[in-house]
Each structure stands twice: as structure tokens, then as C-alpha cells.
Structure 1
Amino acid sequence: MSDNLDDFFAENTQWVDGDNEDSDSPEPSRPSRSRREMRRRRKRRQRRVITAVIAVVIVLALVGVGGTFVYRSLKGWVDSRSQPTEAADYPGPGSGSVSLTIEQGQTPTQIADALVKLDVVKTSGAFLSAFSAAGDDATLYPGTFRLKLHMNSADVVTILSNMSNAKGFVDVKAGDRFNDVIAAVVEQSDIPQSDFDKIVADGGKGILPAEAGGKFEGWLEPGTYSVSDKKSAADILTSMVKARIAKLDELGVPSGAQRERILNVASIAEAEVNRKEYYGKVVRVIENRIEQKMYLGMDSSLAYGLNKNGTQITTADIEDADHKNPYNLHNGHTLGLPPTPIGNPGEDAIKAAMNPEKGDWLYFVTVNLDTGETKFVATEDEFWQIRQEYKDNNPDAN
């Protein structure tokens, strides 16, 4: 029946020229074909359809097989990458001697490549694995380090993570005094102390801004500085002072005498407490005392004038019978701020000096030396109470 229907439709189908679809007079139907011819054409069409279907099936099969192959290959590659592999490493401890210089900002990968090039470690992978395994204990400081050939990577990480092993770089910390910074520079460079002394005696001419009054204290910006590549003491001091000026400009610190005063106040706050949350309160105590024409009485300033630390101060130092210490801010001596800053304050202390907290405090005492807890009060009676609390918490202190 199916064949008869096919023959019927094949014989009565009209062929229309596609280009004349819209013509009002369609072309007359073509002559009908014989049934035999139509069967042959139908079989050819069937063979073509079957052939096309088979071709599609084959292509899909090939794609499926290929896709499976590619997927398996990719998965194998990813798995191999994710599997921990032990990079080749020297057993150590090594021999001979070699120097490695780490520049500020170098990445662990760059340092690893340099170590391999010097034949300190066997592979960069071994060093990076050791660095990662060390976790928070690993800090790759800038500087020049003395190492050996054929070292174990873990040993190298330990050496590079110890700042005391670094040569050629100086780390200026908030609160450091000028003389201590220069002593570190002399140790890390080939420049003699006398070169710095000459610049200081000349009032830092050509290096310090006018508001510094010829004194370097307070005008060195905290940070890490390369000193081994500097040719002179002037070059080193210029880099530190320029960094300080740039930071003050960035913070919006007023220029002129006000800038020096802010550094002075900030240096005392930096030296008196060890928590930045207290800086603003210390500054307020300083300002309140100055306003009431009270002596500041800051031991940090007294110690600075004597080149001591706060724990070394004696009663005789405070009494200062001969009035030799202009940094003695205790009763009967220097009223107001010390002659210069007493250290190089950091950013937080400078911000506090510009915007101190509001309060009526006139006294403060660090009541717990272990935690740094400090209390601020407004009256003398309250002062003696927190002073006693300090003694109770620290029986071994003065």
C-alpha cells in the first residue's frame, strides 16, 4: 500500500520553478514519470538518507571516543599536576661560600631562581616548597646573605628569614633614635661614622628642610633602606629625609614650625606607650599640660637627653642638680616641649599629634608592663591610685 501511495503522489506531483513562486501563471506540470523510474529514484534517495545517517553515527561515535580520550588525557594531566611531587633537593649542609643579595620587593620565585643559578639549592621547586612549609616563620628579608653551595632548602629559608643575617640593608623602625640608625648604617655599609658626624656638625645643610632647625632627630622615615649601594653618607641621609618629607606631605602635616612641633609631640607619644590606641590620649595629656603651664615630666625625654632607656633613669637623673640636660621635662627644669623630637615617630603617632583625642587627662601610667595597659586620669589623687596599681602589678619595678 505504501508503494502505491508513493507512486500516486510521485505521478501527480507538480514541479514549480522556485524563481516564479509569485507568478500569476505558474508553469504547467511536467510530464509524469514512469513507475519504474520513480522507484529507482526513491531507492536512490533512501540509500542517500541511509548513507547520511550511518555517516552521522560514525562521526558521533568517533567524537565520543575522541572526547573520552581527550577527557581522560586532560584528567590525567590535571591529576598529575595536583599530586604532590617532591622536588629534587640537596641534603646539605653545603660547603664553600657564596653571597646572595635580595632586593626590596623581590618575589619568592625570583629568589628561588637566583638560588638555583648560584647553585645554593638544587631546584626552585624545593626552595618554594620549603618556604611554603615554613608558614608564618618565613619572611624573606632584603639584604646580602652569606650562604654555602649545595644547601638544603629548609636551611636556606631559615637563614633568609633572620634579619640579623642580612647585610647591606637597614630597617628604620618607628621610635628609633637618629644615633642608633646611623650606627646600624655604619655597620651595614663601607661609610665611616666620621662622614655622618661631619654632616651633623654642618646642620644637615642641603639635606634637611629649614623647619628641622639643623637637627636630624625625627626627620628619618621608618622603612627598609639599601645602604650598600649608596656612595656617600649624604646619599643615605637624603633618601631617608626625602621619604619623611613625602610621608608628611601625604598625611597633610602643616609645613613650617608647626611641622617640627607635630614631630616633637608625636615622638613623645611614640616613646611613652606601646599601643597606637593610646597615642591620641598621650598627645592630649601633653597639650593639656602645656595649656595649664605644667611641666610635662616625661621620662622618655629625660632618658633621651642622657642616651639611656626609660628603665635606667635614677632619682639623680630626675633631680639634675646641675641642669645639664635640656631634655629634662620634670619640675624645675625645661618647661614645655623638649628642644627637638626624641626619636623618629611613625605614621600613627603623627596622626595622633595632628588630631588628639578629646579629654581632660593630665596624668597617665602604664599599669601593666607585660600587656602595656595604660590608664589616664585628670586629678593628682587619681594619679597616685594608678601609680599604686602599677607598683602592685610590677613588684620588681621601681
Structure 2
Amino acid sequence: MTEYGRGPGPEPWHPEDPQYGDQGWIGHEPQQGRMPYGGGPQQQYPQEPQYQDPQYQDPQYPEPQYQQQPHPQQYQQQPQQPTYGGGQVWDTGQGQYLEVPQTTDPYAGGVDPYAQQQPVAAYPGEAPDLYSTAEAYPPPQPPGRRRVATEPEEQWQDEETAEEADSFLAGGAGKGGDGDEPSGRRSGRSKDKPKKRSGTACLVAAVVIIGVVGGGGYYGYTYLKAKFGAAEDYAGEGTGSVSIDIPKGTGLGEMGRILKAHGVVASAQAFVDAAHVHPKGGAIQAGSYAMKEHMSGKAAVDLMANGAGLNALDVIPGWRNVQVYEAIDKRLKLKDGTTHDVATKEFKTLGLPDWANTNPKIKDPLEGFLYPARYDLKKEATPQTLLKEMVAKATQAYGNADLKAQAAKLNLENPLQLLTVASLVQAEGRYQHDFDKISRVVYNRLKPGNTETYGLLDFDSTVNYMKGQSTLDIGSVDELRKIDDPYNTYKIKGLPAGPIGNPGPDALKSALNPAPGPWYYFVSINEDETLFAVTNAEHNRNREKYEEERKKTGQ
């Protein structure tokens, strides 16, 4: 198909352009007459006769007739071709035509040099007629009637036809009344395709636009609600029971996502928002929690921040092993004595250090090695796993403190004795701020040549451990001195056979670093005051103050 004009507009380029005029449909450039200098006549070349379809004749633009030339080398003036309008050249595919201008250029001798050009036809057989079939495109139109197609299927049509095509939106059928093409004009559309368009395309376009706008609005609303609106949340304290494990190092956001994944809270953001306004929200610890389903963010934070829902076992500093065993049985819902039996039978497999259980008189080899800390009670928790974890924590803590080297510095026989001192400090010292001085009292009483207690510790705590009790009224001293037991410090000199409890890190620190001082006695009057004495007489006066304080408080 020919590109009319070869430019962005409907008109051809300037005649001096090498691509001026159409190049025809036969694959080679049409020949044009040579342009004479000074406006003189142009030399013409003969044209061979061309094949003409006898069945095709455009009623509006009759084809010019040419005389067949005897030989292509003979030259003969060709008949003048019809022109249109402004003297421009246009091409039908069978020859190029020049329209002679009606006005002359005064500077070119009164003759337009471009008007001298005459049509030159191709050689016979090289320019077939492309307009003789029903499927062919219409013949080229003069420049004044050309129109650039705006759609791939739209063909050249005059301005009047374009107005008819645009009028369908207003409900009309164009100037033809029923949408048919005006008589005497040809169109590139097939005759079986009406030019009148239905409103389906407009309806589809409207639906698409509404869908895009509506969808964008919905997602925009969802985004704004998620970013600035209140987070989705349940109401109330929840129901049922859910076990949740919060790993160590987990932040509030991840906690919220874990809770949401288990159906505890409606959204992670609800939990985070509640934690930010809770006084203890930022101190929620890792661990295993017993939660409920469908809890509000506030209810979940309240439960976790206060530790009430924490599904864990807290070993308190100073607890004896029997207390730890009972707590494990209770939390794991086991029969009473189950954990104690495991400890008695399997203590050698629980990971004790080599310096533990070196005294055959020790009542419980694990005493002092169930390190005070919080232990998660996961679903797979058993007495064995918990005891191993506690012993491992104790072994690590004592290894970091280097009890072997420190025991030698403190004139103790082994690390087990140092651990025993720490357990005594924990049991005797009611308040942490007294630990350093109480530690010094222990070491002073253990000194050889001690003339105040003569090597006896005389600690009520060891008697209570021996008897499995916890009381201030342990009986008379005379009766206690008759009891023969490796933990009765009223009878034996020196330290008991082993630890009497599980000391915490503060008591251990005080056992390693006792405060300097000459004290051999102490008594705690109240929470804020502990009285230390060097002599027994001074200690007796302090005891009187202690008795008076007990009468005031009703103890």
C-alpha cells in the first residue's frame, strides 16, 4: 500500500526532496522528466504501453490514454495529463500527474519550473492494476480530499464522511440518514460492515473505569485504615487455654504475631498498642505462657506483663531441692514425689561437675546445683529435661566464677565448700544488703583459734535443713548439741556436709568477696536494720532489741 505524502501530514514533501511524490506500488522509483534550466521546455521520454484492466474505470477520474511507442529508445511528447487545484503532482499507480499552477512566479520568467514535469509511466507488465478487484483499496484521492486514518481499520475519506463517522455518539447516522456511504464515493470498509457503531464499547469502557476507580478506592481505604485506623481487636478476657512459647530476644511486634498466629489476639498491632501504654509492657519476658483464645490486646498484655500467664517455673534463690521437686511435679501435673525419685536415681546422668558430691554424707547430691532462674515449661518438658537444664545453668555460672581458684584463696578445701558458704549466706541473710557482712561472719567463725564460737557456726538454718523445716523456734541449744547430724552446726565444727539450698548470684558474689570486719555475731531487727557484734555480750544486747521488735510486730 502506498504511503501518500511520506510525511507526518496529508500533503507530500517539497518537490526538491529526493523522495518527492509516491514511489508507486511496483517496487522501483517512477521516472520523472528532467527539469530544464531557466524555465525552458523539458525533454520527455517515451512511455511503453501499460496493461489496463478493461473491467475497471473510475467514473470520477478517467484514466488518460497513451499511444504505444514503437521502441523505448524513441522519444515523443506525451499528452498533457489532467491536473487538480493547486498544480500538485499525485500518483495513481499508473502514472504521475502534474497539476499546472494558475499563478506564475515573477522571478522565474513567469513560468513555474515544477509545472514542466510530465508523467512518466513504467514499462509494460511492471505496474499491475491494483484496483480491479472487489477487495482492493480505493484509488488514491487528490490532495484536497485526503485524510489521515486515525485507526488501523479506518481508510481514507473526505471531511464530510469523517463527520458522519463521528456523529454516532450523538445517536445519528451521519448525513446519509441511515449510515450508508454517500453515492459516488468509495470507502475502505467492506460493504457488509455498517459504519454505524453500537454503544457496547462505551458501556464496556465505562464499566472498566468504574471498576478501576472502585477497586483503587477500596484498596486505598484498606491501606489508610490499616495505617491510621484502630487495629483489629477482640473484647474481653478470652476463653479456653492456649500454650504459647515466646523465644528469647523476641520483640513486641514478633510477640504479637505469635499470639495472633495461635488465635490469642485479633492482630499483632492491637497487642503492640496495648503494650506501649502498659507500665510494664516493655518488660514482658520470654518464656512459655498459658494464654486464652480471643483475648483483647490489653488483656493479653496484662497477663504477660504481670507474669500470671507465664507457663514457667521460677526457682527462687535459697530454695532447697525439695521445694524445686515439688514445684516441678505441680507444674507438670505429676504425682507427688515423681521428680524427687528421678533426682535420686538419675543424679549421675544430669551433668554435675566433677567436684560435686565429694562428701559421702551429703543428703542430696543435686543440692546447690538447681540454679535459681526462670525455666520454660514447654510441652515436651519432663523432670529429666528440667533438672538437666538447671544443673547446666549452675555449672556454667560456677565455672564463670572459677570456684576452684577462689576456694583456694579463701582457705577452703574445695569448690563445694565455697558453694556451701554461699548457701549459708543466702539462708541466714534475710536482706541482700547484709550479705557481704554475713559472709565475713561465716569466715571468721571458721578460723582456727576462734575463741568466740570455738569453730562452731551455730546456724539455725542448718538445723532447719537437717529437720526439713523452716522456723525460728528450733529448740534449746542444749538439746541441739545432742543431735548427731552432719548438718547440725550446733554439734559439728566447721561447714555442714554440703549446701543447704540453692544460692543466687548475689549470695555467691558475697561468698567470694566478704566484707572486711571482726564480726562473729549478727541479728536482724527489721528489714532495714541488722545488728552485728564482735563479742557475745554485745550480741546478747542486740538480741534483746530483737525480742522487743518481735513483740511490737506480733511475731
TM-score by length of 2: 0.51
Partner of 1:131: 275
Is structure 2 residue 327 aligned with structure 1 residue 184?
A: yes
Q: Is the 8 A contact 1:98 1:146 kept in 2?
A: yes
Matches within 5 A, 1:146-295: 146-167=290-311, 169-189=312-332, 193-194=337-338, 196-201=340-345, 204-205=348-349, 207-213=351-357, 215-228=365-378, 233-254=383-404, 257-291=413-447, 292=450, 293-295=454-456
Partner of 1:102: 246
Q: Is the 8 A contact 2:350 2:391 kept in 1?
A: no
**Identical-residue share of aligned pairs (%):** 28
Q: CA deviation at 1:104?
A: 3.6
Take 2:511 and 2:443, find their aligned partners in 1: how far apart are those partners?
10
SS at match of 1:241: helix
- Most deviating of 357-366 and 235-244: 235-244
Q: CA deviation at 1:140?
A: 2.9
Partner of 2:525: 367
CA deviations 1:121-179 (Å, max 9, x no partner) are: 22222212222222137753444434333222211122223435333x32223212112
Partner of 1:119: 263
- Most deviating of 262-271 and 354-363: 354-363
Take 1:242 and 1:290, find their aligned partners in 2: how far apart are those partners?
30
Q: Which amino acid in structure 2 is aligned with residue 329 of structure 1?
A: T
Partner of 2:465: 304
Give the number of equivalent residue pairs.
Answer: 312
Question: Where does structure 2 lack aligned partners over 5 or more consecutive residues?
Answer: 1-223, 359-364, 408-412
SS at match of 2:403: coil
Greater fraction of residues in helix: 1
Q: 1:103–1:182: structure 2 CA closer, same or farther, 3 Å change rule?
A: farther
The answer to which structure, 1 or 2, has the higher relative contact order (CA under 8 A, 6+ apart) is: 1
CA deviations 1:66-114 (Å, max 9, x no partner) are: xxxxxxxxxxxxxx9xx98643322224344433233344322211112
Q: Is the 8 A contact 2:521 2:533 kept in 1?
A: yes
Is structure 2 residue 503 aligned with structure 1 residue 345?
A: yes
Question: Where does structure 1 lack aligned partners over 5 or more consecutive residues?
Answer: 1-79
SS at match of 1:384: helix
Is structure 2 residue 522 aligned with structure 1 residue 329?
A: no
Take 2:506 and 2:241, find their aligned partners in 1: how far apart are those partners?
43
SS at match of 2:348: coil
Take 1:361 and 1:154, find their aligned partners in 2: how far apart are those partners?
52
Find the structure with the greater CA-based Rg.
2
Q: Is the 8 A contact 2:368 2:502 kept in 1?
A: yes
Q: CA deviation at 1:343?
A: 0.9
Matches within 5 A, 1:373-392: 373-392=529-548
Is structure 2 residue 356 aligned with structure 1 residue 356?
A: no
Matches within 5 A, 1:17-36: none
Take 1:188 and 1:156, find their aligned partners in 2: how far apart are those partners?
21
SS at match of 1:364: strand
Take 2:298 and 2:234, find their aligned partners in 1: how far apart are those partners?
10
Q: 1:318–1:238: structure 2 CA closer, same or farther, 3 Å change rule?
A: farther
Q: CA deviation at 1:227?
A: 4.3
Q: CA deviation at 1:204?
A: 2.9
Q: Which amino acid in structure 2 is aligned with residue 314 of structure 1?
A: I
Q: Which amino acid in structure 2 is aligned with residue 323 of structure 1?
A: I
Q: 1:96–1:216: structure 2 CA closer, same or farther, 3 Å change rule?
A: closer
Q: Which amino acid in structure 1 is aligned with residue 262 of structure 2?
A: L
Take 2:339 and 2:371, find their aligned partners in 1: how far apart are those partners?
20
From 296, 314, 325, the counterpart of 2:474: 314
CA deviations 1:239-295 (Å, max 9, x no partner) are: 222221211121222168521011100111111113333222112111111211332
Q: Which amino acid in structure 2 is aligned with residue 183 of structure 1?
A: E
Q: Is the 8 A contact 1:190 1:228 kept in 2?
A: no
Q: Is the 8 A contact 1:191 1:232 kept in 2?
A: no
Q: Is the 8 A contact 1:171 1:225 kept in 2?
A: yes
Q: CA deviation at 1:201?
A: 4.3
Q: CA deviation at 1:233?
A: 3.7
Matches within 5 A, 1:80-99: 86-99=230-243
SS at match of 2:532: strand
Q: CA deviation at 1:351?
A: 2.1
Q: CA deviation at 1:317?
A: 8.6
CA deviations 1:311-358 (Å, max 9, x no partner) are: 4x332697247615442222xx12211111111112222222222121
Q: CA deviation at 1:359?
A: 1.2
CA deviations 1:166-193 (Å, max 9, x no partner) are: 33x3222321211211222223337664
Q: 1:242–1:166: structure 2 CA closer, same or farther, 3 Å change rule?
A: same
